[in-house]
Amino acid sequence: MQTLTVGLSERSYPIHIGSGLLANAELLVAHLPTKRAAIVSNTTVAPLYLKRLQDTLQAIGVESVPIILPDGEVYKTADTLNLIYDALLIHRCERSTPLIALGGGVIGDMTGYAAATYLRGVPFIQIPTTLLSQVDSSVGGKTGINHPLGKNMIGAFYQPRVVLADISTLNTLSDKELSAGLAEVIKYGLIRDLPFLEWLEQNMDKLLARDTDALQYAVTRSCQNKAEVVALDERESGERALLNLGHTFGHAIESGMGYGVWLHGEGVAAGTVMAADLSQRMGWISEQDVARIRTLFQRAGLPVAGPALGIEIYLHLMGMDKKVEGGKMRFVLLKTIGHAVICADVPEDLLRQTLKACIKYD
Ligand code: NAD
Ligand code: GLY
């Protein structure tokens, strides 16, 4: 097992990464001050891992209230959030009752937002079970739900007390979901960690084969990168925005197609290729660099072109991005591979050229 720390002064917390951690009560005991906890999961993950977690909690004398939600990005809504509040109230959960998220990023984001808002804030624990949630969404305290007009538009920054990434849970993940997680892993290499990108190029086949050592390394290195960025800029006033490489295009794809049709990681993959293409048109990276990026996503089993939504629809949806400032779109682009920057001055004709080149059948 490896343990990292997200350094946020009195709100610092550990990330434990290893195989079989769901059965390790010691890692949780310090964060469970009460004899009761609520576990939020979904209809896919609960049958696989809820009992194991409940047994672990029981061994340290903690009774758990399961709250099982429908599965899917399409349920990351205010209505589903209300189901959490309903259950917490019905079971008379108190301000000291921790909320444990057991699942992927959808469960983690919604549970975190419920924890931030129920009784104005209760303790929150993240137990991510997808690659994407282990390398990204469980770390850093971004929580929230989607709005029909935009992805993750309603939310709060609310840090967990501990993150437990049990990489053995990745064995039950579908190949498609594993690939989606790899999109966010590749992102760290592209924005700030060239040696990691080179490692990924050398080890992609091992990751796809779910080699335990390779997964442990990729999750740990990704979390190291994320923890460093979050410690520098928790509220995204600067560097943290770089973690959104490919997301301006990707979120437009996700909401334009209807939530859940394209996986988040798939949108990020195609969106990152678009961001790379735009970076090349800005005169920063070379065509060979763009091809190198495209090849890595392809090898990871990810899409490298956007769906045919139409250029005007893309432009409209990208205008809803959280990075828009004073009505102006801001993009995360690559100065070089391994070094991302925020750019507010993208000429519209270059953006249109990128969309034209990177959208399928448009
Ligand atoms: P997800 O939560 O929908 O999980 C993907 C699928 O895998 C679901 O069907 C889920 O039930 C299933 N699943 C989960 N664990 C499993 C396991 N161990 N075995 C078998 N099936 C399992 O999707 P995700 O990719 O984990 O997360 C995507 C979400 O995360 C998006 O809503 C995105 O906006 C959000 N996100 C948030 C942040 C953040 O910083 N908060 C960062 C990135 C993404
Ligand atoms: N996934 C982007 C962030 O946490 O800032």
String of DSSP letters for 88-120: HHHTT--TT--EEEEESHHHHHHHHHHHHHGGG
Q: Looking at the CA of residue 142, tell me the nearest atom of ligand 2.
A: 4
33 pLDDT band (50/70/90 cuts)? confident
Helix axes 105-117, 78-90, angle to 10 degrees: 60
| 361-to-73, 113, 313, 350, 357 alpha-carbon distances in Å | 26, 38, 14, 19, 10
Known catalytic residue at 247: yes
361 pLDDT band (50/70/90 cuts)? low
Of 108, 123, 213, 158, the C-alpha closest to 6 is 158
Known catalytic residue at 236: yes
- Within 8 A by CB and 6+ apart from 310, the residues are 362
Known catalytic residue at 31: no
- Within 8 A by CB and 6+ apart from 136, the residues are 105, 184, 222, 226, 243
Judged by DSSP in three states, 16 sits in strand
Backbone torsion region of residue 123, taken as left when φ is above 0, otherwise alpha when ψ lies between -120 and 50, otherwise beta: beta
Compute the average pLDDT of residues 34-44.
Answer: 96
* Closest residue CA from atom 35 of ligand 1: 105
Q: 255 CB less than 6 Å from ligand 1?
A: no
Known catalytic residue at 244: yes
CA of 288 to the centre of ligand 2 (A): 28
Matching residue, tokens 């924890």: 115
Catalytic residue among 152, 192, 244, 281: 244
Phi, psi angle pair for 64, to nearest 5°: -125, 145
Which ligand sits closest to the CA of 69? 1
Q: Please give the angle made by the CA atoms of 65, 71 and 73, to the nearest 5 degrees.
A: 125
d(CA 79, CA 82): 5
Q: 136 CB less than 6 Å from ligand 2?
A: yes
d(CA 100, CA 67): 10
Domains delineated in the chain: 2-172 (3.40.50.1970), 175-358 (1.20.1090.10)
Catalytic residue among 161, 187, 221, 264: 264
CA of 101 to the centre of ligand 1 (A): 11
Tokens representing residue 34 in the block: 């009460």
Mean pLDDT, the chain, rounded, equals 96
Known catalytic residue at 264: yes
- Within 8 A by CB and 6+ apart from 283, the residues are none
CA of 36 to the centre of ligand 2 (A): 30
Tokens representing residue 318 in the block: 């990208």
325 pLDDT band (50/70/90 cuts)? confident
Give residue-wise pLDDT tens across range 127-170: 999 999 999 999 999 999 999 888 899 999 999 999 999 999 99
